[in-house]
Amino acid sequence: MNGSTLVWLMSGVMLNAAAQLMLKAGASSVGEISLSAGAASLWRTGLQLAMHPGILGGLSCYVVSVVAWIVALSRVDVSVAYPMLSIGYVVNALLAWWLFGEAVSLQRWLGIAVIIFGVVLVARSANPS
């Protein structure tokens, strides 16, 4: 895998991760959404979310990430590209811990280490020695 392909892949992954964090910020602004709250309440919540900068930013990041992802897929096998999305789990766990104060237990850190190890194995398989 060459450098520009890696840049396209990681751009898609990072934009996807950024989208998740922005959507979380938007969702947190309205609190827990209850589907049993009634149609009027759901409508107000939906409008509030639709105009929230975090939601709009997150959706925008998704759109741009799809473009980057399509470019990446034109250059690398999907069996190599798709596991790279797992890097987003790592980025989101770290940033959710830092930005939102979410707890990341030892078990989660161990899981993140397994993910990183797996991504390294997959990436190396794209460049057989």
Rounded Cα gap, residues 94 and 38, in angstroms: 36
Q: What is the DSSP letter of 86?
A: T
Contacts of 48 (CB under 8 A, 6+ apart): 29, 30
Contacts of 107 (CB under 8 A, 6+ apart): none
Tens of pLDDT along the chain (129 residues)?
788 999 999 999 999 999 999 999 999 988 888 777 788 888 888 898 999 999 999 999 999 999 999 999 999 999 888 888 888 988 999 999 999 999 989 998 999 899 889 888 887 786 655
Residues 65-95 have pLDDT tens digits of 999 999 999 999 998 888 888 889 889 999 9
Please measure the distance between the N-terminal and C-terminal CA atoms of the chain and give it in whole angstroms: 12
User: DSSP letters of 14-58?
Assistant: HHHHHHHHHHHHHHHHH-S--TTS-HHHHHHHHHHHHT-HHHHHH
Scored b (16 or more CB within 10 A) or e, 101-127 reads eeeeeeeeeeebeebeeebeebbeebe
Which of 12, 4, 15, 23 shows the shortest CA–CA distance to 84?
12
